[in-house]
Structure 1
Amino acid sequence: MPMISTAAAQESTVATTGEWYLVQCKPRQDERAEENLIRQGYGCSRPTCRRERTLRGQMHYAEESLFPGYLFIHMPEGANWAPLRSTRGVARVVAFGGRPLAVGHELIMQLQSRASTHIIAKFNPGDKVTILDQGFAGIESIFMTMDGEERVILLINLMNRQQQISLPLASIANR
């Protein structure tokens, strides 16, 4: 799935001036909000990632929002914000002090490029993994099990003793 949903939306965001803003969507309506905003002519970016899921004993890939409940919208300078309030799937534009805060174009492009290549892998017990951050960066460990949907339990060798630790799933990579 492309990071900017249509070629026309991508061309319009590059050709015009304006800024990117963060939009909060109604619960589980990210895709609906994106479709409706694009239909109205707005440029949208909803970074997604592929996730492995086991369904009826078979492995399937599912495309999911990288930031569930949020998407980015490109608003040209002087654009009317009123239609956003009545767009199906949109809850609100994220604002601070009553003013929407612009998100840098460079950040949007980085998110799109990273999300397009990122697959959240499923690990099997006994797989050797490397910890990427959390003060244990570079330490090799053994995947034991998932701890909920976004955390993992690892076995590491610390001070000549095997210890179990729990870290975010995003903090590990295959060795």
Structure 2
Amino acid sequence: MKDWFLLYCKRSEQERAVINLDRQGVECYYPQVTVEKIVRSKRVSSQEPLFPNYMFVYFDPEMISYTTVRSTRGVADFIRQGKTPQRVDPDLIYSLMVNEDSAEQQAKLSNLPQPGETLKLAQGQFKGIEAIYHEPDGEKRSFMLINLLGKQVKVSVQNEYLIKK
């Protein structure tokens, strides 16, 4: 009977493990999320594992042995509870599959203003000041350009402080 198990993979070798496990007939799943990064002064979207170095595998231990899976290139070992590999609830796996890069998650990212958009700051030390949105600064902050004494200054503020005009 097939079950889901959790594997720990060698550093940055999840792709290699997936290829080799697929050849053996083991179904693999590792949730990924789209992340925006600044690379060489340009914003780039890339896919990254939600749980780095961890992977869920689905197989029948009576058909494919634990040792075979554990000895696969790229795999370090099973996550265990005592001596036996830890079984994972299928509902958890299916909920991860359904929510992976969901529309709700993408909506959170798209709610940020566009660069150059004029906003008003609602809270904080710059409350009431108009600012020009520049770029995101991490998950919950943004860089804004504000005019102080006739000169544009770049400041980092909480995203919830922004009000669209």
TM-score (norm 2): 0.62
1:104 and 2:89 correspond? yes
Within a 5 Å distance, the mapping from 1:115-126 to structure 2 comes to: 115-117=100-102, 118-119=105-106, 121=109
Match of 2:52 among 61, 64, 68: 68
Within a 5 Å distance, the mapping from 1:50-69 to structure 2 comes to: 50-69=34-53
Within a 5 Å distance, the mapping from 1:11-160 to structure 2 comes to: 17-79=1-63, 80-117=65-102, 118-119=105-106, 121=109, 145-146=137-138, 152=140
2:27·2:57 contact (CA, 8 Å) conserved in 1?
yes
- Aligned residues, how many? 124
1:52·1:121 contact (CA, 8 Å) conserved in 2?
no
1:34·1:46 contact (CA, 8 Å) conserved in 2?
no
Where structure 2 has 5 or more consecutive residues not aligned to the other structure, the ranges are: 122-135, 143-157
| TM superposition outliers: structure 1 runs of 4+ over 4 Å | 122-128, 151-154
How far apart in 1 are the matches of 2:71 and 2:120? 49
Where structure 1 has 5 or more consecutive residues not aligned to the other structure, the ranges are: 1-16, 129-143, 155-165, 167-171
| Larger Rg, first or second structure (1 or 2) | 2
Deviation at 1:116, TM superposition (A): 3.4
**1:14-42 C-alpha deviation (Å, 9 max, x unpaired):** xxx41100000001111211121112110
TM-score (norm 1): 0.59
Among the aligned pairs, what percent are the same residue?
29
